[in-house]
Amino acid sequence: MILKALRKDRLITISYYENGLLQTCKGRLCNLNINEQTLFLEDEQHNIFSIRLSGIKEIY
Protein backbone atom coordinates (compact mmCIF):
# COMPACT_ATOMS: atom_id res chain seq x y z
CA MET A 1 0.00 0.00 0.00
CA ILE A 2 2.90 2.35 0.64
CA LEU A 3 4.21 1.77 -2.87
CA LYS A 4 0.81 2.59 -4.38
CA ALA A 5 0.90 5.94 -2.59
CA LEU A 6 4.08 6.74 -4.52
CA ARG A 7 2.16 6.62 -7.80
CA LYS A 8 0.76 10.10 -7.18
CA ASP A 9 2.26 12.73 -9.46
CA ARG A 10 4.36 14.74 -7.00
CA LEU A 11 8.02 15.35 -6.23
CA ILE A 12 9.62 12.90 -3.82
CA THR A 13 13.12 12.59 -2.42
CA ILE A 14 14.67 9.15 -1.97
CA SER A 15 17.78 8.31 0.02
CA TYR A 16 19.20 4.95 -1.04
CA TYR A 17 22.36 2.88 -0.96
CA GLU A 18 24.16 2.14 -4.22
CA ASN A 19 27.53 0.35 -4.21
CA GLY A 20 27.84 0.98 -0.48
CA LEU A 21 27.39 4.76 -0.79
CA LEU A 22 24.36 6.73 0.36
CA GLN A 23 22.82 8.62 -2.56
CA THR A 24 19.92 11.09 -2.65
CA CYS A 25 17.68 11.70 -5.65
CA LYS A 26 14.71 14.04 -6.06
CA GLY A 27 12.10 13.64 -8.77
CA ARG A 28 8.83 12.09 -9.85
CA LEU A 29 8.07 8.39 -9.94
CA CYS A 30 8.37 7.26 -13.55
CA ASN A 31 7.79 3.51 -13.20
CA LEU A 32 7.53 0.91 -10.48
CA ASN A 33 8.42 -2.69 -11.36
CA ILE A 34 7.42 -5.00 -8.53
CA ASN A 35 8.68 -8.16 -10.28
CA GLU A 36 12.23 -6.80 -10.62
CA GLN A 37 11.87 -4.77 -7.39
CA THR A 38 13.04 -1.62 -9.11
CA LEU A 39 11.79 1.95 -8.93
CA PHE A 40 12.47 4.43 -11.74
CA LEU A 41 12.65 8.11 -10.79
CA GLU A 42 12.74 11.00 -13.29
CA ASP A 43 14.43 14.20 -12.10
CA GLU A 44 13.77 17.77 -13.26
CA GLN A 45 16.33 17.45 -16.10
CA HIS A 46 14.44 14.34 -17.36
CA ASN A 47 17.23 11.94 -16.31
CA ILE A 48 15.89 8.57 -15.23
CA PHE A 49 17.41 6.80 -12.23
CA SER A 50 16.94 3.10 -11.48
CA ILE A 51 16.74 2.37 -7.74
CA ARG A 52 16.51 -1.09 -6.16
CA LEU A 53 13.75 -1.24 -3.54
CA SER A 54 16.05 -3.14 -1.17
CA GLY A 55 18.53 -0.23 -1.18
CA ILE A 56 16.03 2.47 -0.20
CA LYS A 57 16.72 3.98 3.21
CA GLU A 58 14.14 6.78 3.32
CA ILE A 59 11.41 8.34 1.17
CA TYR A 60 10.17 11.83 1.90
| 43 Cα distance to chain centroid | 10
- What CATH architecture applies to the domain 2-59? Roll (2.30)
The two beta strands, 12-18 and 56-59, are antiparallel
For 19-45, the pLDDT digits (tens) are: 999 999 999 988 889 899 999 999 999
CA 6 to chain centre: 9
Confidence of residue 9 (pLDDT cuts 50, 70, 90): confident
